[in-house]
Structure 1
Amino acid sequence: MDTNARCEIQKLAMKKLSLILLGVPLFLMSGLGYVLIANKLVRDREPWFTLCLVCGLATTVALLAWCTGTTLVIGLGVFAGAVFLYLGMCLLFGKDSRIEMLVPAHVLAILSMMAIPVYTSVRKKALRTTAAVSSHYQTMTSSSFSSTAAGGAGLTKS
């Protein structure tokens, strides 16, 4: 095999690899898999189509809650917010755009489920640091008051 043919094969392989590396996460993140499954199952009949899409959204949120270790309350809150966003956008833009309206709700749910654990861990760390600094400050001030009361650093009689 000559070098030109080998180079063309490598370029084709890189194109396929980049398509897979970019396409699969976009496919999963946009919820397109749930749309295709719902379309096969119920063939665009309402309210079953919307119910299937909401079940797919619930599956995504549940899997992310399990992977990130978030609580049930946070998972339910993110799910409820995403469902209200999806249904509100469907009401606003009409029945013909139900599939397109799932993408923002799905992406928002994924980003929220990824950001909330980071936020809570940073907040807990900040609270621990604040508590440590506060207890250290209280220890310092109480020890200086006790030494002043004992006459160590205060005014003495001459």
Structure 2
Amino acid sequence: MNKFKHTGLAWIWLAILVLILDQITKIAVMQQFELYDSVQITSYFNLTYVHNYGAAFSFLADSGGWQRWFFTAIAVAAIILLTYWLAQTERKQKILTVGFNLILGGAAGNLYDRAAYGYVVDFLDFTIPLYGRWPAFNIADMAIVMGAGCVLLDAFLANKEQVAHDKSN
């Protein structure tokens, strides 16, 4: 238990929170919408219920079904690896710890969908000026992107500190 308190695992509540919020929103969408139903919220944002059989941007969505197990295996491997990394990361490395936990929660949310339904439920649908319609996504996807941003920010800040340290020596 001592290792838990002093490592990134102390922040596992964040991953659990992401998983819960992700699943609550997906269940609400599945209960309130029929597949492909859409409700305009603003001129650039809709709630649109879709199934994603692939990965990000529906990559490999039309590949005959094998991709479900492929992406499931990747998610399981990512969850195992992230949990290991959290156990090796000091709790005081807040940005890195938050990043790993956001990615972990998002991966778990989308893994649950794949295992339970055979697809990921997406519903956040944006239109971006000068680009057009962005592929629909969900809370888990947002957490993964924000987590990756935290990991990159931590790496950038660590590199900046190392350069400053090297210059002072």
The two structures have a TM-score, normalised by structure 2, of 0.29
Answer with 1 or 2: which has the greater Rg.
1
More helix by share: 1
More strand by share: 2
